[in-house]
Amino acid sequence: MSYYLNSENRLDPGPIYVRENGQLHMVNLALDGVRSSLQKPRPFRLFPKGFSVELCMNREDDTAQKEKTDHFIFTYTREGNLRYSAKTLFSLVLGFISDNVDHIDSLIGFPEQIAEKLFSAAEARQKFTQPGAGLRALQKFTEAYGSLVLCSLCLRNRYLVISEKLEEIKSFRELTCLDLSCCKLGDEHELLEHLTNEALSSVTQLHLKDNCLSDAGVRKMTAPVRVMKRGLENLTLLDLSCNPEITDAGIGYLFSFRKLNCLDISGTGLKKDIKAIKHKLQTHIGLIHSKVPLKEFDHSNCKTEGWADQIVLQWERVTSEAVKPRETSEPQMAAQRFYGKRSLTDTPVKCSLADTHVNSSEKLQFYKEKAPDCHGPLLKRETPLCQESKNKKRAFEDPEKEQNNSSQSSKQKYVCLAVEDWNLLNSY
């Protein structure tokens, strides 16, 4: 007790009682050195001096403050007074799940309407830009909703995004349009091999302009279609322009794309007679050379569409900020101007898509003619005799067609494969 009374930072202990011989006595505190300190007893305070709600919230860290204010919606009245209202239980649960979206086991069978709101809430919190956790969260959505997450992806001239977010890009499924123009991928890039995966068998439009591709890359891309009848078998539009390493041999691999309706091979390294190439394309897959530039290759149709369209923009912004060059001082800028040098930001890399002044005669764009329905109305006016005669003709022609088809199928069974094709098949 003497230690407590002689301490420097002592408070008013109040009355002290001591029991002696069965009786309770109050201790007299009028001691030397104690009376002066206890003459003016301090009033009892529940909170320290200067306490307020605002100061209390400011003393806490950001996470605790966010947890306290996240359950309320703050607005101002017309008089300027602050008013708050509690959030709904659905919004609170949605916010909690979006904060821990990477820990979800599966979203298969979850309603699409609520999943879209959950995706938007996680996107607002930038959960998909976090390394590791963002990939796991994105995979849960893509495996459950497929094309709703992203049905069309445009990565034109965004090679930095491809290099930094390759695994996230590979997680997208059921894409119908993919634009990889001016990305300089090359034949051995991992994304080019991923194009032959079954997850991208739904791709119908593929733009690979100016990607440093050669005959080896085209052979690798078409191997599953040529041999196993899977991969990019649903492809209807293909752009391989501005790849000078693609020669006549590489064009021959494209004959396996039976559903191809539009093809652009302008700026490739064709060495033989171009008329022979045009004839082969017309006889094998029915493509006709276009004398006028086709609008399908103006790169305006392919856009990023889906729930994750803003996520691609976030990836681009993060990667551009990561490689942003340091600011140069005025003397350095003056020295660069004197020696005729410019910084990297002054000379952006231009994609060859801007070179629209190429003559139409130099463009090698092909399209497939649609069968005109000119005999449609006449079929209704045919007599029954004409129909019977046609049925008889079909009855005679069907056995011949079946024999031809059987002979062709037997020939396809014994197709001779090269050693390189067998090596590709073993790699899958």
Domain CATH number, residue 279: 3.80.10.10
Question: Do 158 and 300 sit in the same domain of this protein?
Answer: yes
**Rounded-to-integer distance, Cα 219 and Cα 226, Å:** 9
Query: Which tokens sit at 354?
Result: 């801007």
Residue 178 is assigned to a structural domain of this protein:
yes
**Rounded-to-integer distance, Cα 157 and Cα 308, Å:** 19
The alpha-helical segments, DSSP class H, found in 224-365 are 248-252, 274-285, 309-322, 330-338
Residue 46 is assigned to a structural domain of this protein:
no
Domain range spanning residue 163? 150-314
The domain boundary residue, chosen from 148, 177, 195: 148
pLDDT tens digits, the chain, 428 residues: what are they?
444 445 445 556 667 777 777 777 777 655 444 444 445 555 555 555 554 544 444 444 554 445 555 666 767 777 777 777 787 889 889 999 999 998 999 999 999 999 999 999 999 999 998 888 999 999 999 999 999 999 999 999 999 999 999 999 999 999 999 999 999 999 999 998 899 888 889 999 999 999 999 999 999 999 998 888 888 999 999 999 999 999 999 999 999 999 999 999 999 988 777 889 999 999 999 999 999 999 989 877 788 999 999 999 999 988 888 776 655 556 666 666 555 554 444 444 556 544 544 455 578 999 998 755 434 443 333 434 344 444 444 444 444 444 454 444 444 444 455 666 666 666 65
Residue 357 is assigned to a structural domain of this protein:
no
Query: How many structural domains does the chain have?
Result: 2
**Rounded-to-integer distance, Cα 373 and Cα 297, Å:** 27
Q: How confident is the model at residue 419, as a pLDDT?
A: 61
Q: Could you tell me if 177 and 309 are in contact, meaning their C-beta atoms sit under 8 angstroms apart? A: no
CA quadruple 127, 132, 137, 143: dihedral positive or negative? positive
Question: Do 305 and 157 sit in the same domain of this protein?
Answer: yes
**Rounded-to-integer distance, Cα 134 and Cα 128, Å:** 4
Question: Do 286 and 194 sit in the same domain of this protein?
Answer: yes
343 Cβ contact list (under 8 Å, min separation 6): 325, 328, 336
Question: Do 172 and 97 sit in the same domain of this protein?
Answer: no
Q: How confident is the model at residue 198, as a pLDDT?
A: 85
CA quadruple 335, 340, 343, 346: dihedral positive or negative? positive
Question: Do 177 and 242 sit in the same domain of this protein?
Answer: yes
Tell me the three state secondary structure of residue 265: coil
Question: Do 222 and 237 sit in the same domain of this protein?
Answer: yes
Q: How confident is the model at residue 376, as a pLDDT?
A: 40
Q: How confident is the model at residue 362, as a pLDDT?
A: 72
Residue 380 is assigned to a structural domain of this protein:
no
Over the Cα atoms of the chain, what is R_g? 37
Question: Do 129 and 252 sit in the same domain of this protein?
Answer: no
20 Cβ contact list (under 8 Å, min separation 6): none
Residue 327 is assigned to a structural domain of this protein:
no
Residue 182 is assigned to a structural domain of this protein:
yes
Q: How confident is the model at residue 106, as a pLDDT?
A: 92
How many CB atoms are closer than 10 A to CB 289? 17
Question: Do 222 and 255 sit in the same domain of this protein?
Answer: yes
Residue type, 358: V
**Rounded-to-integer distance, Cα 87 and Cα 65, Å:** 16
Question: Do 141 and 156 sit in the same domain of this protein?
Answer: no
Residue 139 is assigned to a structural domain of this protein:
yes
How many CB atoms are closer than 10 A to CB 270? 18
Query: Which tokens sit at 352?
Result: 């060859």
The domain boundary residue, chosen from 287, 314, 341: 314
Query: Which tokens sit at 412?
Result: 């396809």
Question: Do 133 and 233 sit in the same domain of this protein?
Answer: no
Strand partners, 28: none
Question: Do 236 and 126 sit in the same domain of this protein?
Answer: no
189 Cβ contact list (under 8 Å, min separation 6): none
Question: Do 112 and 227 sit in the same domain of this protein?
Answer: no
Please give the C-alpha separations between residue 20 and each of 26, 48, 111, in angstroms, as whole numbers. Answer: 10, 37, 76
Q: How confident is the model at residue 260, as a pLDDT?
A: 94
Q: How confident is the model at residue 69, as a pLDDT?
A: 54
Strand partners, 86: 72
Residue 265 is assigned to a structural domain of this protein:
yes
**Rounded-to-integer distance, Cα 290 and Cα 365, Å:** 6
The domain boundary residue, chosen from 124, 148, 172: 148
**Rounded-to-integer distance, Cα 422 and Cα 218, Å:** 16
**Rounded-to-integer distance, Cα 90 and Cα 350, Å:** 48
CA quadruple 244, 250, 251, 255: dihedral positive or negative? negative
